[in-house]
Chain A
């Protein structure tokens, strides 16, 4: 494998605000958000599935009590598995910003690592949902010109980190355009 890559035209911005080029975990307060959101989503889904199953059960066994038991089980099961899943997602999400660009790791069972080279960033969005604002968090959306990976979304970032990431990547775009 040839490794002698050509030198980068514009020297990377090494201003003091750049996050260190290693893997960063999400801040601890993002765990609550991940758990809450997944628990809600899974709970609703579990409730709906249980409703279908319960209607079937109630019609077969002709017993109304069973109906409510099934729905309660579905809701509790959904919330519990959602909370577990959210916690897993939180623990296995990591990001990194180095001279080459931005990288994101996700998942434990199905592992994904995405990399967006700094020279391929088209534009950036910073989102603050109401819950995220409460915890001082933000979502960074990186857009590329690609087709399958045309957006890379990182939720639950520390708001200050997200802003630094955005500023740094945006600076790189400008440097590329001027060059």
Chain B
């Protein structure tokens, strides 16, 4: 796969050939001359639907006057002029330890971005970018919904030089410092990427997106398709006079087919996104390179990591793998998943542990001792389920008579699950780190250095108070609402309160670290 790792191999082969690195302050620089093309393409993508609508609309009303269909082209022309203007007015310069960007024509703006403020550097190369030998660079800081700077597009070596400068905070690195090759912390061979595809549920996303796109195009297309297929299938089945066994067999094989198709799609997605995944370390900076057609290279310093998540689902366990993710304070814009989030999409448990030990050398991991939850935590876990099950059984009995009582058969399962969950859940804390573990089928470990905690909250619901429990929430920056929260549920009340007070004092005494 050497040709797929264009960015990586470039750096490795000629690390010192860019002259800009020698001087910290460079003269004003422009974007790549072709950049207007890429800006135009980006804008066209946004205006595509109105433009297409205009094209159809124009054609419909152009019986008397044939010139209407040229309106869209005028629109494209205006956009092209805007893109060209953007190219001619956009300049950037590196002064010592910061980047200065001038842009705009009528509304001019001057932007000053200190390198120390940048949390994440993203180098993005789509297939088209690679044909032209250019790359898109995004510099992201903490919070906010827009990147500090987005350069669409730079020549590849300019982009790499800029990335290098930011890596070294504007100080031109010594020749021998650069000659040191990046330490590869994790590389995923194709077999691992395929395994990742099998474990992850990406196929479902593809199917969902496909259904969405199809119903956008024609709302009746999918229902018609399903009805047609249903008629054909059931019509055929009706003529064959099958017994129940055959029907079950047919249903199972259809289901199997669906699962297989999903997994194949999932593997294809994983190959597209994660082909040639390499996590490397250069000094304090972590860099991830990945992608088959579109190459993506994102980097962040180690100290920008806010919290860690280690996951092991059922399929993970089957393949003896785990997933290691981190939170950074960089805001995700829309559905563009570009920030450095996954240190190890999948890796063996041992490799995950080695990674954590390497990146958090001062911390004990894996933890030897875990504190259990409240003795009665399983009852507290069980309670909402029991209430729901009783309500459900009552409803079933009212509707179906005595047979509804079978709804109570759900209870033993709930009991077993609560016991298992409570047995495994726990937390572990020392002066350096706080860690929480949970889950049963699908396990997770979530942890953060104490310096990274931002605020604390202790909550007690009426049920909690009945059992003498409390839940401690630990807030960190950049935690997404989708991941399991960093919180210790169902602690004995006194223990929770002690921990809350102790943590409050410790955090107050430590300086905020970004």
Contacts and interface: CB of A to CB of B under 8 A. Distances in A.
Interface of A: 1-3, 5-9, 99-101, 103, 109-120, 144-150, 152, 176, 179
A179 B511 contact: yes
Interface stretch (B72-80, B195-203, B343-351, B473-481): B473-481
Interface stretch (B221-229, B316-324, B496-504): B496-504
9 contacts: A2-B430, A5-B505, A8-B508, A111-B459, A113-B459, A119-B511, A146-B454, A147-B480, A148-B479
A145 B457 contact: no
Contacts of A7: 509
A114 B457 contact: yes
Residue from B430, B431, B499, B509 with most neighbouring chain A CB atoms (10 Å): B509
7 nearest A-B residue pairs (beta carbon): A146-B454, A146-B475, A100-B508, A117-B508, A149-B455, A147-B479, A117-B507
Nearest to A118: B508
B143 interface: yes
B504 A145 contact: no
A146 B455 contact: yes
Contacts of B475: 144, 146-150
Contact of B508 (A2, A101, A148): A101
B424 interface: no
A86 to B, nearest CB: 20
A178 to B, nearest CB: 12
A72 B509 CA distance: 56
A144 B455 contact: yes
B509 A1 contact: no
B457 A113 contact: yes
A40 B460 CA distance: 28
Contacts of A6: 509-510
A144 B474 CA distance: 13
Q: Is the interface of B mostly helix, strand, loop or mixed?
A: mixed
B506 A5 contact: yes
B461 interface: yes
Contacts of B194: none
A120 B509 contact: no
A145 B505 contact: no
Contacts of B479: 146-148
Contacts of B458: 111-114
B460 A115 contact: no
B505 A1 contact: no
The size bracket of the interface on B is 35 or more
Given A5-B505, A112-B457, A120-B454, A145 B430 contact: no
Given A2-B502, A5-B502, 8 more contacts: A3-B502, A110-B461, A114-B455, A115-B456, A119-B512, A145-B454, A146-B455, A147-B476
B508 A119 contact: yes
B366 interface: no
Contacts of A150: 454, 475
A154 to B, nearest CB: 14
A115 B477 contact: no
Contacts of B500: 113, 115
Contacts of A119: 507-512
A112 B213 CA distance: 44
A173 to B, nearest CB: 10
Contacts of B509: 5-9, 100, 119
Contacts of A103: 504
Contacts of B499: 1
B485 interface: yes
A118 B455 CA distance: 10
A120 B455 contact: yes
Nearest to B499: A1
A147 B514 CA distance: 14
Nearest to A103: B504
A100 B506 CA distance: 9
Nearest to A148: B475
B472 to A, nearest CB: 10
Contacts of B498: 1
Nearest to B500: A115
A81 to B, nearest CB: 18
A23 B343 CA distance: 44
Contacts of A114: 455-458
B462 interface: yes
A13 to B, nearest CB: 13
B162 interface: no
Contacts of A176: 511-512
A47 B462 CA distance: 29
Contacts of A113: 457-459, 500
A144 B454 contact: yes
B142 interface: yes
A25 to B, nearest CB: 19
A147 B327 CA distance: 11
B448 to A, nearest CB: 11
A1 to B, nearest CB: 6
Contacts of A152: 455
Given A111-B460, A115-B504, A119-B507, A149 B473 contact: yes
Nearest to B430: A2
Contact of A115 (B142, B455, B461, B476): B455
Residue from B143, B454, B465 with most neighbouring chain A CB atoms (10 Å): B454
A4 B196 CA distance: 45
A177 B476 CA distance: 20
Contacts of A115: 455-457, 500, 504
B122 interface: no
A165 to B, nearest CB: 16
Contacts of B161: none
A105 B460 CA distance: 11
